[in-house]
Structure 1
Amino acid sequence: MGEKVVSGGFDLSDRQWQRAKLRDCMRALHRLLDEKRFDRPQNLMGLEIELNLAGSDGMPRMMNAQVLERIASQDFQTELGQCNLEVNIVPHRLSGRVLDQLAEELRTGLAYADRKAREVSSQIVMIGILPTLVAEDLGSSNLSCDERYKMLNEQMLAARGEDFIIDVEGVERFVYSSGSIAPEAACTSVQLHLQVTPARFAAVWNAAQAVAAVQIAVGANSPFIFGHEVWRESRPPLFLQSTDFRQPEFASQGMRPRTWFGERWISRPAELFEENLRYFPPLLRTDQEEEPLRVLDEGGVPQLYELTLHNGTVYRWNRPVYGVADGVPHLRVENRVLPAGPTVTDVIANVAFYYGLVRALVEEPRPVWSRMPFEAAAENFDAACRDGIDAVLRWPRSGRFPSLPRIPAVRLVRDELLPLAAAGLDAWGVEPADRDRYLGVIEERCRLRANGASWQAATYHQARDAGMDREAALAAMTRRYCALARTEEPVHTWPVGFSD
């Protein structure tokens, strides 16, 4: 959500103005779709990673402005909290040695950023939720110095009319009342973009929804919320509750939260944008003066600023994205499921698994979403977030909406989904050496039942068993995590505990 916003508040007339502009944007989007104005297939993918800043002691560092000043690169940007950064990798074509190329670019960029961060006694950490963060670290005073974050916080708090309540029960129960959306900043993710044609958009989005649970199961890396061990992937419940503008009475009536898995499969790309307008009031106003229908009438391509801004305040785990490049509009599916880290190798393994699996599922003659109720995909997502690598998921075997037997995620991935992912990468034209290297990381995680979340939890408990209190154990585990991440060995090879 990098669009500029109008500062100075958002009153009743602003909301009415923005709603009218959103309707114009939707009319323009429908015209672009009807006139087949969208970009041809280019097999383009993009990658963004949200990062944490921590000191050598493993504790969070609220200094992204100082670090960004030293990095001095447009590839790195602010995120919601002062302990966060985001790195953007330029789009790549999904073919050849793209996976190794991505890995090399990420290592180079992150190593440079880490060197600059160390100039101010900080370091870059790729992790879903920094375990040493505590609730007091994330109040409104710790939001990044950006007008859009301030206004978003004000509007969500005004809509809710009371504190945000975070209540997550897992291994432990964590309950906290926050006077701002700042706890959202604890959640750092990997965002995978895939440019698609309108004709393939619905199938790609449906496939991404179907595989969200297995992505979480093999990639979970966020077992702690503010020092409490809860779900194996705790970002989704924390993100949902820290942005939940609904008052409890409205939630009980079925009003949708802005952090949303969705509620049905789709058949056309405009459906998701339409839902966003139908269910969610605008929160921000742009400073742009575009008239999208007039731009179309004059033969141009509108940027749809208001639609893009509004879309950025609805936090779907698979989000539709409209963009314009070189004067040509395109659509993307943005996959927001995965936590950051632990290593570049692990991130690229997750990338390979996702892009390969989605491609294969889209091209199946009887796609999985035709044989599986949407409710099962949503239930799988929750189960994977709770249990991580040990999750048991429902997956169709044959026929339409069969009994959907429950299958351990590791068995489902090893026996069925990894071969599909390999076939999908072959269809993209990815080199077999890249395919085998990175899918092999996923296979080994499943064989050993080990990922970032399981390593964090096991190492933390070893520290507690050795007599450390909670805070000391979390800090020691985080320091060990940082040290092992620098070796670039994938997480399934890490020894649990504090001895090599």
Structure 2
Amino acid sequence: MGEEVTAQSYTREQRQRYREKVRQNLDVFERMLSHSSFEFDRPMTGLEIELNLVDGHYQPKFANAEVLEAIADPDYQTELARYNIELNVPPRPLPGDAALHLEQELRASLNRADEGAARHGAHIVAVGILPTIMPEHFQGEWISANNRYTALNDSIFVARGEDIYLDIEGPTGERVATYCDTIAPESACTSVQLHLQVAPQDFAAHWNAAQALVAPQIALAANSPFFFGQRLHAETRIELFSQATDTRSIELKNQGVRPRVFFGERWITSIFDLFEENVRYFPALLADISDEDPVARLEAGEAPSLAELRLHNGTVYRWNRPIYDIVQDRPHLRVENRVLPAGPTIIDVMANAAFYYGVIRKLASDDRPVWTKMSFGVAEQNFHNAARDGIEATLYWPGYGQVSVDELVLRHLLPLAHEGLKDWGVSDEVRERYLSVIEGRCKTGSNGATWQTQAVERLQQQGLDRQAALSRMLETYHRHMHSNEPVHTWPLPGQPAEL
């Protein structure tokens, strides 16, 4: 959910002081990168999963405070809207069978959480966009009771000076075109975030590799085809998140002002490049000021928290975000990969993670890395093509030219994933269990987005209208989700396994 803040609004003086403090933080961070020791004893990974609450009719259930009280687990927190919660998984190393143990822990944790939610008439659903969310659901008290969310909502609209216009069209001409007077639609975007701790000198290579990899990631994992009742992109969450948090008016867009949901504009040589861009291009949305003197802490031999710089970084929504953090008084750096949708099952989530961690290891260590053979603009175009077309997308990749996702993954990226996980010290059992899921998606051409789309089409052919079909589809989805069978093996409603 990001760091909580103390206020819901800020004065002009507070914002001016905050800018000065952020710039001071940036100067201290630059010194730290040159002279400080960062934690990197072993590769540590982390995971966050954003989730949705639905009622017995599979409509959004606005009760996260009550559900979280029933769950009574500090790993679960609020998210933007009252039908969202988030599961934060403590960091752990990659090697051996750690992933198998994590899968078991996640399934047990979600089962316990679902039991708690049931006491308030709710189910938990992991999906990129809740298919049954509609505009009328945001007309009441939708926002969670956190200062951060209220402050963000208000700051975005102060910066824009006008309502947000959403305009997204799908491949068959279905379209959402509407004005919004809150950032509520952003809450529909529920994701999985993957963290990887890296040494300072290795950060640029890992971030560049992650930027090149986002397109295949989205294409394989797409799970967000419906929004406001319309069939839009395979991974509509990408475009929806971009538009729903855009602080720019039309005139500022025309001037080339950068969006806060930012793919980036160049390959980097240091993590400092990204933080420096943040400070140079993006005004503060939140302006909480700490009492810390970062210069004094650094000169005393202690790691400063750089609270203002971190808070500012949390309001620039890069798909691969740089992270500076302190654990047990030692600083470390992470790449936070934010491109994946939630769901459909835990095994699908684990497969997406295994693919990412394996491939990024090989891409980042390549003697002639992919980003030296592909322009940044092509990487960004790949990203948008993958979000629009999902597993049916055609991407550009050096050495292959224009290539289908299944061919690129089966011929090139999946072998890299196997090699990379082996280099991490991951067991053969882990590699086979999770990467076989990725192989299965490619061979069947099926993922969450294709299953949702085909299920709704089938239900409508059986006589249901769109809204009833979405509810029935989500009910079936929820049942399959608890089976923990990968989505490419799911039968459609009415097929033999469903009877």
Kept in 2: contact 1:352–1:425 (CA 8 A): yes
Instruction: Work out whether residues 5 and 287 of structure 1, in 8 Å CA contact, stay in contact via their aligned partners in 2.
Output: no
Report the counterpart of residue 75 of structure 1 in structure 2: 75
Matched, 1:388 2:384: no
Equivalent residues of 1:3, 1:286 under 8 A apart: no
CA RMSD in angstroms comes to 1.1
34-43 or 216-225, larger mean C-alpha shift:
34-43
Residue 369 of structure 1 corresponds to 371
Choose the corresponding residue for 2:292, options 279, 290, 293.
Answer: 290
Aligned residue in 2 for 1:193: 195
- Write the mapping of 1:198-217 to structure 2, written as runs, cut at 5 A: 198-217=200-219
1:463 to 459, 463, 467: 459
1:12-23 maps to which residues of 2 (within 5 A)?
A: 12-23=12-23
- Structure-1 separation of matches of 2:449 and 2:146: 32
- SS for the counterpart of 2:333 is strand
Tell whether 2:9 aligns with 1:9: yes
Residue 411 of structure 1 corresponds to: 407
Aligned counterpart, 2:489: 493
- Write the distance in 1 (CA, Å) between the matches of 2:289 and 2:118: 37
Name structure 1 gaps, 5 residues minimum: 398-403
Q: Deviations over 1:34-83 (max 9, x none)?
A: 10321134200000000000122111101100000111111000000101
Unaligned runs of at least 5 residues, structure 2: none
CA contact (8 A) 1:4 1:287 kept: no
Please say if residues 56 and 479 of structure 1, whose CA atoms lie closer than 8 Å, have aligned partners that are also in contact. Answer: no
Q: CA deviation at 1:4?
A: 3.3
Relative to 1, partners in 2 of residues 1:49 and 1:472: Cα closer, same or farther, differing over 3 Å?
A: same
TM-score (norm 1): 0.97
| CA distances 1:243-271 after superposition (whole Å, capped 9, x unpaired) | 00101000111101101111110011101
Give the equivalent residue in structure 2 for 1:137: 137
- AA aligned opposite 1:167: D
Kindly provide the amino acid, as one letter, of the partner of residue 175 in structure 1.
Answer: A
Find the aligned partners of 1:38 and 1:139 in 2 and give their Cα distance: 47
State the Cα distance separating 1:12 from its structure 2 match: 1.3
Aligned residues: 494
**Residue type of the partner of 1:101?**
H
The equivalent residue for 2:100 is 100
After superposition, residues 418-457 of structure 1 pair within 5 angstroms as 418-457=414-453
Partner Cα separation in structure 2 for residue 128 and residue 498 of structure 1: 24
Matches within 5 A, 1:24-423: 24-139=24-139, 141-171=141-171, 172-286=174-288, 288-397=290-399, 405-423=401-419
Q: 1:41·1:196 contact (CA, 8 Å) conserved in 2?
A: no
Query: Structure 1 residues 68, 60: closer, same or farther in 2, change over 3 A?
Result: same
Conservation of the 8 A alpha-carbon contact between 1:308 and 1:322: yes
Q: Give the Å deviation of 1:466.
A: 1.3
Distance 1:498 1:84, change over 3 A: farther
Q: Partners of 1:139 and 1:3 in 2: how far apart?
A: 27
Q: Which amino acid aligns with 2:472?
A: A
CA distance in 1, matches of 2:132, 2:484: 22
Whether the aligned pair in 1 keeps the contact of 2:40 and 2:197 (CA below 8 Å) is no
Identical-pair percentage: 49
Aligned equivalents of 1:474, 1:15: Cα separation in 2: 45
Given that 1:140 and 1:182 are in contact with CA atoms closer than 8 Å, whether structure 2 keeps it comes out as no
Counterparts of 2:477 and 2:32, CA distance in 1? 48
Partners in 2 of 1:65 and 1:281 — Cα distance?
31
For normalisation by structure 2, the TM-score amounts to 0.97
Tell me how far apart the structure 2 counterparts of residues 370 and 41 of structure 1 sit (CA, whole Å).
Answer: 29
Q: 1:291, CA displacement in angstroms?
A: 1.4
Distance 2:442 2:483 in 1: 21
